[in-house]
Chains A and B, each alone.
Chain A
Amino acid sequence: MTHPLPRWTRAQMAARVAQDIADGSVVNLGIGLPTLIANHLPAGREVILQSENGIIGMGPAPAPGQEDYDLTNAGKQPVTLLPGGSFFHHADSFAMMRGGHLDICVLGAFQVSARGDLANWHTGAEGAIPAVGGAMDLAIGAKRTFVLMEHLTKSGESKLVETCTYPLTGLACVSRVYTDLAVIDVGPRGARVVDMAEGLAFDQLQAVTAIPLARA
């Protein structure tokens, strides 16, 4: 590639996901990039955030000096509780997921396949300590699982793949992928482009994507 592709910034990526979260939704935002989405929810939409360590109705980070480390998010960072929010134990928390009570879960990923298989917890590298946390429960639990990730790896390879080569988190669980280049639905019918970064041409997107894309 001689010219960089037109792409969304991380804030724009987060805002693009936020645009698709309807008023009244109950949502779990995964650790990392997905947590940014909370800052971009459109005004006037009431969205309830769940955190798997035992909060529903999670609020933003506290003001400096107000941190309470008995009130943290899944990334163990201090947060706040909104009026109406509540605390519960881990079995109830994962019942909310597995039981299909969450509308949307947004996760980061290493790879997503055309049919929606997800790899986001382990590179399988020799000597790497595996750590899964709630990723496998989150991936298969919510009514819809979104992925928010860069379109390409640091070395320029497509993270949308025919078959995941990293260890799987879940099978056929992702319904939509948000990248810095495009919004792409995945599933049994393959990959379909829903939206693209301003100025990006479909052929440019296809050229850097390892799976065939359909125009929506």
Chain B
Amino acid sequence: MIDKIVQSAAAALADVRDGATVMIGGFGTAGLPDELIAALLDQGARDLVVVNNNAGNGDTGLAALLGAGRVRKIICSFPRQVDSWHFDRLYHEGRIELELVPQGNLAERIRAAGAGIGAFFTPTGYGTILAQGKETREIDGRMQVLEYAIHADVALIKAERGDRWGNLTYRKTARNFGPIMAMAARCTVATVHEVVDLGALDPEAVVTPGVFVQRVVPIARTATRGAGFKASLA
């Protein structure tokens, strides 16, 4: 019988190795799998390469992992935010490597890895410092930049409902990078707020088919905290 349900985040992350590339879902705090990041912090793996859109907010979640000095390099599109002080300090101290990637290139490089595509040409970033040193080619009359897939050892993502085959649905904009990171990692660990029987998820509405998911961890629902913006602008 296939049963991908793992009862604790700690058990789901027991085999993450030092030096692993870890994709972490989320756009700011929406979709950020706080419980899995906390378990990774406890687990102790070091020298990690993290792929996330941002570089942590406040003192918890990804920010705590960075603050604990466990991340060697971060691949992201938007590290600087009003509450990214842990990353900011590490960056200014030269203690973390940053690979800055335009957000759409980040998404497509992740998707490409999951789809078995080695690299692709895209017009995004052509002529900018983020394309420096990269191969370019004119395609259909437009200059384009060669961008390589980003693979991961582990993906940590936050979903809404799941079953023992690993089929997943998400909640609102917390979906963001979850479905593509699930495809791009050798081992994808997803949290869900509800485990349902096989067949209970509408097959027309399954967002991530279970083939992309290796472990499903049930967690209690907590309201997502807001972060990453000035409260006065909300």
Which residues of A pack against B, CB within 8 Å?
Answer: 51-55, 61, 67-72, 75-78, 81, 87-91, 93-94, 97-98, 127, 129-137, 140-141, 167-171
Contacts and interface: CB of A to CB of B under 8 A. Distances in A.
Interface in B59-82: 77-81
A53 B107 CA distance: 11
B56 interface: no
A28 B88 CA distance: 29
Contacts of B101: 132
Interface in B75-113: 77-81, 87-88, 91-92, 98, 100-108, 110-111
15 contacts: A52-B103, A67-B234, A70-B224, A87-B175, A89-B178, A90-B27, A98-B104, A98-B123, A129-B80, A129-B88, A130-B98, A133-B102, A133-B103, A134-B77, A167-B128
Given A53-B27, A76-B226, A76-B227, A168 B127 contact: yes
A87 B31 CA distance: 13
Given A89-B180, A134-B77, 9 more contacts: A61-B234, A67-B226, A70-B31, A81-B172, A91-B111, A132-B103, A133-B102, A137-B103, A170-B126
A97 B178 CA distance: 19
Contacts of B87: 129
B223 A69 contact: yes
A93 B172 CA distance: 14
A94 B172 contact: no
B226 A131 contact: no
Contacts of A72: 27-28, 30, 173, 226
B198 interface: no
Contacts of B126: 140, 170-171
B175 A54 contact: yes
B154 to A, nearest CB: 19
Contact of B104 (A88, A137, A169): A137
Interface residues of B, number: 57
Contacts of B27: 53-54, 72, 76, 90
B129 interface: yes
B171 interface: yes
Contact of A89 (B78, B98, B176): B176
Contacts of B28: 72, 76
Given A78-B234, A91-B180, A129-B79, A134 B103 contact: yes
A69 B226 contact: yes
